[in-house]
Amino acid sequence: MQYFLSTENFNAQWQFYTENEVKELATKDIFTIDHYADSEIFNPDIQNFILEHGDMVRTVNAEMRNTWALGLREKRQLKGIDPQIQLRFQQLKTWLKQVICELLASMDWENKSTKEIITRIITTLIPYFAATGGLPLPSVILPIMVALLAKILKLGVDAVCKF
């Protein structure tokens, strides 16, 4: 798993990849966008990250959802994943949403390019992860961030950033 210690580590290649994913995903329906994030629960790297560092988001108010944007086969597979990993995954998604929505609320994001928004989010998340969990920003959270940004591009901040 790659970690971003600074914005320099989030180089042009990562920037292009992330921006491309956000723009492409924003053209899809909401289920597909949510599925993109929810299916990361099956990623062994995100499971390991949650097991090792899940305490950093434990205080986030996130309830275990009974509705996941997953297919039938995936829902059956989900039953085999520890409920604590599922809850901490939901907490991680909620925490990222809070941080990103607070950032977007504080900036004139409508006049920024997708690339500028991603750079600003990464620049903000690196110190958040260091302060909250004492670790660098892990690349495994990028799909969750991509799905959230795609949803914001599709529906707008007001529709997505409700708590």
pLDDT digits (tens, 9 = 90+) for 38-63: 999 999 999 998 888 877 765 555 55
Nearest alpha carbon to residue 143 among 53, 41, 3: 41
In DSSP terms, 137 is beta-bridged to: 4
pLDDT digits (tens, 9 = 90+) for 81-98: 888 888 888 888 888 898
Average pLDDT of span 33-38: 94
Amino acid at 42: F
The rounded Cα 85 to chain-centroid distance in angstroms is: 15
Q: What is the pTM of this model?
A: 0.87
